Amino acid sequence: MLDQLKKSVLEANLELVKYGLVILTWGNVSGIDRKSGLIVIKPSGVDYEKMTAKDMVVVDLNGKVVDGTKRPSSDTPSHIELYKAFPGIGGITHTHSTNASAFAQACMEVPCLGTTHADHFAGPVPVTRFLTPEEIEAGYELNTGTVIVEKFKEMDYQTVPGILVAGHGPFCWGKDPHDSVKNSLILERVAEMAIKTLSLNSGSKELPAHISDKHFQRKHGKDAYYGQEGY
């Protein structure tokens, strides 16, 4: 099972390069085996073109390395906090993709300005608060996860599968590693659309709720009818 998860996590990390979501070593994808409570994650600072499935690092929910010869991603504590808080997810992606990171650096949520956004996120993509000096000193990466979880006390992580960490960048999640990458790609594209829309008309209004709700529900609601079964 872990060998299969390692392969899936490797492939998902390579998708970040394929979709132009990362340069250099800026990003990581992880996946979790819920039965064992073990997480597979990209090794820290390793070039994507050099990685193999054997390079993936396995950690437990306490952050202890249980398999692998390399150090896990420095963002591992953030991933762990999300897996603990969001039991319905199976994969997490973190990038510094340009447009989503621009919103994060501006400390602005990504507004739902059109139906492309509404098809995938039930409302604006939120942004966290800044970490305090005390939180950074106590555990920067762990508390990065904590402020994400804090935001979702008032939101549904399953209908808004992503967030912007203030001054930092996006985290997205999904049912598995590949799904989390897909959501990361979608977030980057709708962020790009939002920036271009607001540059054309800074007074652009959010999509009316009756339209945005329709688009989200037709894909994700109990009576969803978009697409085909099994695809």
What's the burial of 213, exposed, middle or buried (CB within 10 Å: 0-12/13-18/19+)?
middle
Residue written as token pair 């492309």: 116
75 is catalytic: no
Residues whose CB is less than 8 angstroms from the CB of residue 140 and which lie 6 or more positions away in sequence, other chains included:
131
Pick the catalytic residue from 33, 60, 67, 119: 119
Amino acid making up residue 66 = V
179 is catalytic: no
DSSP string, 63-90: --EEE-SSPBPTTHHHHHHHHHH-TT--
Sign of CA dihedral 191, 197, 199, 205: negative
Q: Is 221 helix (H, G, I), strand (E, B) or coil?
A: coil
Would you please indicate which residues are annotated as catalytic (active-site) residues?
119, 226
